[in-house]
Amino acid sequence: MDIESVSTTGHCLLQCPVVLYKAVKLFSTKLGKKRKMTKKQLYDSMNNNILTYNKLTNWKKYLFISVIILFFLFVYILSFGTQAFFQQLVNGIQLGSIYALIALGYTMIYGIIKLINFAHGDLFMFGAYISCFLGNYLVAHNIGFPFIIVLIFSMFVTALLGMAIEKIAYKPLRFKPRLAALITALGVSLFLENFFALSPENVPFPLNKIVFGPKYIPFPALIAEKVYNIGGVTINNIKILDVVITIILMVGLQYIVKKTMVGKAMRAVAFNKDACLMMGINIDNIISITFGIGTSLAAAAGTLFALTYGQLQSPYMGIWPGLKAFIAAVLGGIGSIPGAMLGSYVMGISETFATSINSNFGYSIAFIILIVVLIFKPAGLLGKFTKEKV
Partner 1 sequence: MNKKLLILLILVCFLFSVSAASAEEIKIGGVACLTGAAATYGASTKNACILAFEAVNAEGGVDIGGTKYLINYIFEDDQGSPEVAANAFRKLIDQDEVVAILGSVMSSCTLAGAPIAQDAGIPVISPTSTAVQVTLTGDYIFRACFLDPFQGAVVATFSTNDLKAKTAAVIFDNANDYTKGLAESFKESFEKLGGKVVAYESFADESKTFDFSAQLTKIKSANPDVIFLDGYYSAAALMAKQARGLGITVPFVGADGWDSAEFTKLGGEAVEGGYFCNHYSPEDPRPIVQNFVKKYTETYGATPDALATLAYDAALILIDSLHRAGSMDGAAIRDAISATDLECVSGQITYNEVGDPIKKAAIIKVEDGKFVFQKFVQP
Partner 2 sequence: MKIIKNIINLIKKYYKFILITVLVYLLFQIFNGSIPIAPRLLTRYYMQIIMFALINIIMTVSLNLINGFTGQFSIGHAGFMCIGAYTSAYFTTILFKAANMAYFPQLVLFIFSLIMGGLVAAFAGYLIGLPTLKLRGDYLAIVTLAFGEVIRSIVRSSDEIAAFINQIGLVKFSETIAKLNGPRGLSTIPALSKFWLVYIICIISVIIMRNFIYSTHGRACLSIRENEVAAETMGIDTTRYKIIAFSMSAFFAGVGGGLFAHVLRFIHPENFSFIKSIDYLIYLYAGGMGSITGSIIAATGLTILPEFLRVINFQQWRMVIYPLFLVILMLRKPDGIFGNREFSFLVPKKKEVN
Interacting residues with partner 2 (CB under 8 A): 8, 116, 169, 172-173, 176-180, 182-184, 186-191, 194-195, 198-199, 202, 319, 323, 326-327, 330, 360, 363-364, 366-367, 370-371, 374-375, 378, 388, 390
Question: Residues 116, 117, 121, CA angle at the centre, nearest 5°?
Answer: 125
Long-range contacts of 275-278 (CB under 8 A, 24+ apart): none
8 binds, among partner 2, partner 1, none (CB under 5 to 8 A by kind): partner 2
Q: CB of residue 362 vs partner 2: minimum separation in angstroms?
A: 11
Task: Work out what residue 310 binds among partner 2, partner 1, none; the CB cut-off runs from 5 to 8 Å by kind.
Answer: partner 1
Q: Which of 8, 48, 57, 234 binds partner 1 (CB under 8 A)?
A: 234
User: What's the rounded Cα separation, in Å, for the pair 198 and 316?
Assistant: 11
* Nearer to partner 1 among residue 91 and residue 288 (C-beta): 91
Residue closer to partner 1, measured from CB, 220 or 339: 220
Q: Which of positions 85-114 make contact with partner 1 (CB under 8 A)? A: 87-88, 91, 95
Distance CA 218, CA 225 (A): 16
Among 360, 376, 378, 384, binds partner 1 (CB under 8 A): 360
Residues 198-217 that bind partner 1 (CB under 8 A): 199, 202, 214-216
DSSP bridge partners of 248: none
**Interacting residues with partner 1 between 305 and 324 (CB under 8 A):** 305, 309-311, 313-314, 316-317, 320
Taking the least distance from each CB to partner 2, the nearer of 181 and 249 is: 181
Burial (Cβ within 10 Å: 0-12, 13-18, ≥19) of residue 180: exposed
216 binds, among partner 2, partner 1, none (CB under 5 to 8 A by kind): partner 1
Question: Least separation, in Å, of the C-beta of 328 and partner 1?
Answer: 16
Q: Closer to partner 1 at the Cβ: 241 or 381?
A: 241
Q: How far is the CB of 20 from partner 2 (least distance, A)?
A: 18
List 38, 52, 54, 229, residue binding partner 1 (CB under 8 A): 229
- 196 CB neighbour count, 10 Å cutoff: 19
∠ CA 109-111-113, nearest 5°, is 65
17 in contact with partner 1 (CB under 8 A): no
For 273, left (φ over 0), alpha (ψ -120 to 50), or beta? alpha
Strand duo 217-218 + 233-236: pairing: unpaired
Beta-strand (E) ranges in the chain? 217-218, 227-230, 233-236, 311-312
| Interaction partner, residue 169 (partner 1, partner 2, none; CB < 5-8 Å by kind) | partner 2
DSSP string, 140-169: HTT-S-HHHHHHHHHHHHHHHHHHHHIIII
Q: Running DSSP on this structure, what letter comes out for residue 318?
A: G
Q: Which residues have CB under 8 Å from 204's CB, separation 6+?
A: none
Closest CA to 136 of 210, 225, 220: 220
| Shortest spacing between CB 296 and partner 2, in angstroms | 23
CA dihedral (228, 234, 237, 241) positive or negative: negative
Cβ atoms < 10 Å from Cβ of 251: 10
Q: Which is nearer to partner 2, 178 or 259 (CB)?
A: 178
Report in angstroms how near the CB of residue 238 gets to partner 1 at its nearest: 9
191 touches which of partner 1, partner 2, none (CB within 5 to 8 A by kind)? partner 2
Q: From the list partner 1, partner 2, none, pick the one residue 97 interacts with, judged by a Cβ distance below 5 to 8 Å according to partner type.
A: none
Binding stretches for partner 1 (CB under 8 A): 3, 81, 84, 87-88, 91, 95, 199, 202, 214-216, 218, 225, 227, 229, 234, 236, 305, 309-311, 313-314, 316-317, 320, 352, 355-356, 359-360, 362-363
